[in-house]
Amino acid sequence: MQASVLTAVLLPAALGIIMLGLGLGLTVADFRRVVQMPRPVLVGLACQTVVLPGVCLLVAEAFELPPPLAVGMMLLAASPGGATANLFSHLARGDVALNITLTAVNSVLSIVTLPVIVTLSFAHFMGAEHDVPLQVDKVSQVFAIVLVPVGIGMMVRRRAPALADRLGRPVKALSIVLLVGIIAATIAAERANLGEFLALVGPAALAFNLASLAIGYGVPRLARIERRQAIAIGMEIGIHNGALAIAIASSPLGLGEPAMAIPAAVYSVIMFFTAALFGAVVSRSLLR
């Protein structure tokens, strides 16, 4: 569960290329529309910071998870979305500008919300207090991986739109290849422990994942937010930053409890498949 070449180098590099490809299809006007219509952002943030931790608590209680795994689930729920959510939203025809905005805002909020949620989880499940350090460096990494390549892609689109159009299709194809590679590498990296981990927390992680996707899409639709934005919020809520949760759980500078990284590791494998299925279902409704 410790950081490896995959999580420390290859994964950020692949996600950077993916985000560059997304930036090639975005303009400043896309973000201006998000600012002018803040309701989807507020609904997404409410789902992420209020509804999701409550649902995760119910899942942990319902499946009677051992205390370290229950805290690990809560840590995962408190972790923001990331670049992978943005790519899945793009493939499902969601509002990627909204995704990127939510990723940025959620990452900043998590500096406060993540320590609070995890500290309360320790008190509830383990009867002990545990201070969780602020993860400013991790948030900085999210910004570097997400915002910098997106900004470069947008700059190319603004200054050379014909070039951006030519690059759009091959970069999207490369993004899909990289995503498949990330899935395969994630499974391969955990293949020795995957069976044991799935037995320990698989059903709970799957239940939480399906609930996250349903909440992320269903709540905005109930709030009469248009479908493309609901898809974006669904992906943002359903695809958590498992790498961040694993790093915080395993690192001696974080919680120093490798067992608490197990839910994030299992969830990170499951979410690729459920998100792909979710994207295929909801994107069809846009074509009707």
Q: Which pLDDT belongs to residue 176?
A: 66
Distance CA 49, CA 53 (A): 7
The size of the chain, in residues, is 288
Number of domains comprising the chain: 1
Q: Which pLDDT belongs to residue 74?
A: 93
In tens, the pLDDT along 42-53 reads 999 899 989 999
Confidence of residue 231 (pLDDT cuts 50, 70, 90): very high
Q: Is residue 211 part of a domain?
A: yes
Q: Is residue 145 part of a domain?
A: yes
What percent of the chain has a predicted confidence (pLDDT) above 70?
72
Q: Which pLDDT belongs to residue 1?
A: 46
CATH number at residue 232: 1.20.1530.20
Lowest-confidence range among 58-62, 217-221, 240-244, 250-254?
250-254
* Most confident region among 21-25, 27-31, 213-217 by mean pLDDT: 213-217
Q: Which pLDDT belongs to residue 230?
A: 94
- Cβ neighbours of 39 (radius 10 Å): 12
Distance CA 135, CA 4 (A): 19
Distance CA 120, CA 217 (A): 27
Among the listed residues 107, 86, 88, 64, the one whose alpha carbon sits nearest the alpha carbon of residue 207: 64
Find the domain containing 139 and state its range.
Answer: 5-283
In tens, the pLDDT along 267-283 reads 988 888 999 999 988 88
Computed over every residue of the chain, the mean pLDDT equals 79
Whether the predicted pLDDT of 195 surpasses 80: no
Q: Is residue 288 part of a domain?
A: no
Distance CA 133, CA 183 (A): 30
Q: Which pLDDT belongs to residue 216?
A: 94
User: Residue 53 contacts by C-beta under 8 Å, 6 or more apart in sequence?
Assistant: 74, 77, 78, 117
Confidence of residue 121 (pLDDT cuts 50, 70, 90): confident
What percent of the chain has a predicted confidence (pLDDT) above 90?
23
Q: Which pLDDT belongs to residue 63?
A: 93
Q: Are 240 and 52 in contact (CB under 8 A)?
A: no
Confidence of residue 208 (pLDDT cuts 50, 70, 90): very high
In tens, the pLDDT along 139-194 reads 565 556 667 787 888 898 888 888 888 887 787 677 667 656 665 665 666 567 66
Give the helix, strand, coil percentages of the chain, each rounded to 5: 85, 0, 15
CA dihedral 42, 47, 50, 56 (to 10 degrees): -170
Q: Which pLDDT belongs to residue 123?
A: 83
Q: Is residue 134 part of a domain?
A: yes
Provide DSSP, 149-198: HHHHHHHHHHH-HHHHHHHHHHHHHHHHHHHHHHHHHHHHHTHHHHHHHH
